[in-house]
Structure 1
Amino acid sequence: MNDVPLFAPTDEHEAVRAACRDLCRAKVAPHAADVDRSASFPQAAYDALRAADFHAPHIPETFGGVGADALATAIVIEEVARACASSSLIPAVNKLGTMPLLLAGSEELNKRYLTPVAAGEAMFSYCLSEPDAGSDAAAMRTRAVRDGDGWRLNGVKRWITNAGVSDYYTVFASTEPDRGARGISAFVVEKTDAGVSFGAPEKKLGIKGSPTCEVYLDDVRLPGSRLVGVEGEGFKLALRTLDHTRVTIAAQAVGIAQGALDYAVGYVKDRRQFGQSIADFQGVQFMLADMATKLEAARQLTYAAAARSERSDPDLTFFGAAAKCFASDMAMEVTTDAVQLLGGYGYVQDYPVERMMRDAKITQIYEGTNQIQRVVLARQVLK
């Protein structure tokens, strides 16, 4: 790995954290249980995040955004996830959907689509996975065929976060099937384009407030200006995007784990057994010590990856995968331990840690399973 200057969150980063934490405590956390129970989009959280410019903080000032750097954006996602994992997918998926444009989009394309996202008038999703192309994304069957000076798209995308709610979608499609990964291109598709439709929302274990649906593309006609970057470079663009946005999933995992640890600490201080607080028992203290240590290790790795994302360092691929993999495994462990610390109370919906445990699981799966992350990491190590 490269020698990279040390980093630390600045006073400005900490001010962002404090402001976002206060907002989430007041306007996001109170709705988290209802959002999960009803599997409904967290509209109140979205409205609050938009009003405070936390819905898409990464959008540059050029396009009307606040221009938050990668670390500040990670901190926002962490703080929202601490209160409600479903709501944290608003800033996280807005970054995922728009990152291909920021990396390779033309000035005209970016101005047209990033400006309304920055203004809170639209959301952006990312369409890579398909029914038969998950980890093996290069095997996608969605096709884009030239049609005059434009393109015609046909195919199905699966596991699309915030599908149906988002107005815009970055869609990856094969433009030259014979070339495999080298024949994939990226396009912007609008929700209102003729031929675009959505499947029923998936019934999921966690993050229930963030809709996950199939996206159907039935003879969708796009002008040539909707191509993102260079034809045939879409797969490389998809991987470059994930290098950056795996950091956001790591941040989400850190936030979920922090929320669970916070609640567990409060509970063990108040809960009394055998005539004393259970926080006085060494076995409980050892669990808390391990939880806090692993959580802070994941946070520091996530922040280190965010710093590399901001600079687009050559070792970002390693750090993005490492942060996502380590933080999501940590989140699953910490939330499970939080349930254990609450005992029977941890297992019922009257208390939030069972929700956090369910929400944590997806962080080990999406944006590349942790098995795929380990493949990525090993390849980087063996280079």
Structure 2
Amino acid sequence: MISFDPTNEEKAFTEVAYKLGRENIRLSARKNEQKGFVHHELIDQVNHLGFLAMEEPDSLGGMQLPLISQVQILEALCYGDLGTVQGFPGLGDGASVLRVMSDRQIHDEQRHFVKENSCTIAFIKEVAEEMPESRLKLAKTSNAYKLHGKSKPVRLGKIATHLIIGIKDDTGETILFWLDKSRNKWEVETCDNRLGLREASIAKLSFDEVSFSENQVIAIGNKAERILQQANTRIYILQAAKQLGLMQAALDYATEYTATREAFQQPIAKFQGVSFRIAKMVMEVKMVRSRIWQAAKAIDDRHSSAEGYALSTMFTAHKGVRFVTNSAVQLLGGHGYVQEYPVEKWMRDAQAQVILYGREREFLTRRGGQILAMTEKKVMV
């Protein structure tokens, strides 16, 4: 547990985000889902308030907010609707990659397209140990690299103008590089996203011997692995915060519904099974929030166990968002599956989010591996 009191500035910024989520994002959620993208007027509004630049480094014109501030704001935005927030264009998860890179590692060309141009980045990480099913192959030639195959489903892939990719080449060395669609061509295969997150432009990207030069390489070997590890640690916490916003929205909606609907002349909430389920939902939300704040603070303070905190937090958030949104649908009974009520969309978006960013078992396995490695190190010493 940590003792944390938001600053007045954080409280004010978060309240603006909550108001935007309740009054704009939630009201437009169904229309955005039907269209498969977020309306440009809402994007302009969110961008004007600075919510798309929170993670971007200040050297590229971003706000570079601490994670502890960002998680509060993202929770507030996703109280409106997770799918809509995941559909916002911009640097996306790539902002975290740029955030952990040094100024020397950001090429002038990259700096230009981020600061001067309207670009959307899709971040693809397919390292062999974590993605044994990856069908992307990278080969190094005498003076260039060639990328072939198809990526996993990636958020913003359908509308991306640039890609940041981290994979191992044919020699087993980790390579982190960026591609520009104006000179590196790739094909977009829209995913069957009938489940959820339809606004998030999720797609698989195909590459047919796509060549790129060494000046598009960001980092190689240990440097690339370090950037990927640090970036993913941040991404996990930011995504967990978004899931927390969805959890809180589903909890509040289900609580109000059961408190105002009656059966046998008394509110549904007074039935023991319902009150037990609501209580457990509350505990899940509070536990996930505590984990997120603890992990965000650890990352901001550059704590040595930050990655472990992030993996544990993502596992808890995945588990929590599935339970809370499923419970909300069940508590509404038959109405839970009707589009007139938002909980069915929230449940579908939660399931899609977990699939997109890794199932609970993956994070539990990786965290367990870390703990075993630390134990073995102590025994050897």
TM exceeding 0.5: yes
Aligned pair partner of 1:67 in 64, 68, 77: 64
The one-character-per-residue Cα deviations of 1:9-60 (angstroms, maximum 9, x if unpaired) are: 3322222211111122232111112222343345443222112110131112
Q: How does 1:134-213 map to 2 (within 5 A)?
A: 135-136=130-131, 141-146=136-141, 148=143, 150-175=144-169, 177-178=170-171, 180=172, 183-213=173-203
Match of 2:231 in 1: 241
3-state secondary structure, aligned to 1:57: coil
CA deviation digits over 1:58-86, x for unaligned, max 9? 11222211221112222232222221112
Identity %, equivalent residues: 21
**4+ residue segments displaced more than 6 Å:** none
- Separation in structure 2 between the aligned mates of residue 32 and residue 110 of structure 1, nearest angstrom: 37
2:260 equivalent to 1:270: yes
Tell whether the 8 Å contact from 1:122 to 1:166 is kept in structure 2 after alignment. yes
Distance 1:356 1:138 in 2: 29
What SS class does the counterpart of residue 356 from structure 2 fall into? Answer: coil
Range with bigger deviation, 370-379 or 44-53: 44-53
Other structure's SS at 1:121 match: coil
Residue 304 of structure 2 aligns to a residue whose secondary structure is: coil
**Could you say if the C-alpha distance between residues 21 and 313 of structure 1 is closer, same or farther in structure 2, counting changes exceeding 3 Å?**
same
CA displacement, residues 99-132 of structure 1 (integer Å, 9 cap, x when unaligned):
22332354472664467557882222111249xx
2:242 aligned partner, one-letter code: Q
Q: CA RMSD in A?
A: 2.8
Separation in 2 of the partners of 1:357 and 1:70? 26
Residues 92 and 249, structure 1, Cα contact 8 Å, conserved in 2:
no
Residues 154 and 219, structure 1, Cα contact 8 Å, conserved in 2: yes
What does residue 33 of structure 1 align with?
30
Query: Matched residues in 1 for 2:14 and 2:44: separation?
Result: 19
Alignment of 1:209-288 (within 5 A): 209-231=199-221, 233-288=223-278
Does the 8 A contact of 1:185 with 1:233 survive in 2?
A: no
Q: Which amino acid aligns with 2:360?
A: N
User: Aligned equivalents of 1:303 and 1:254: distance in 2?
Assistant: 11
Q: Aligned pairs, how many?
A: 373
- Specify whether residues 344 and 120 from structure 1 end up closer, same or farther in structure 2 by C-alpha distance, changes over 3 A only: farther
- Aligned partners of 1:381 and 1:108: how far apart in 2? 32
- 1:321, distance to aligned residue in structure 2 (A): 0.8
Whole-Å Cα distance in 1 between the matches of residues 167 and 139 of structure 2? Answer: 6
Partner of 1:11: 8
Which of these residues, 355, 363, 368, is aligned with residue 378 of structure 1? 368
SS at match of 1:221: strand
**Is 2:56–2:98's contact at 8 Å kept on the other side of the alignment?**
no
The residue matched to 1:94 in structure 2 has which SS?
coil
Greater alpha carbon shift after TM alignment, 99-108 vs 323-332: 99-108
Cα separation, partners in 2 of 1:119 and 1:42, compared to 1, 3 Å: farther
Instruction: Go from structure 1 to structure 2 and tell me whether the alpha carbon gap of 1:331 and 1:353 turns closer, same or farther (over 3 Å shift).
Output: same
TM-score (norm 1): 0.87
Contact 1:322-1:377 at 8 Å conserved across structures:
yes
Letter in 1 for 2:358: G
Aligned counterpart, 1:49: 46
The runs of 5 or more residues in structure 2 that have no matched partner are: 375-381
Whichever residue aligns with residue 83 of structure 2, its letter is S
Find the partner of 1:301 among 280, 291, 300: 291
Q: Specify every segment of 5 or more residues in structure 1 that has no aligned partner in the other structure, as ranges.
A: none
Q: Which residue of 2 aligns with 1:84?
A: 81
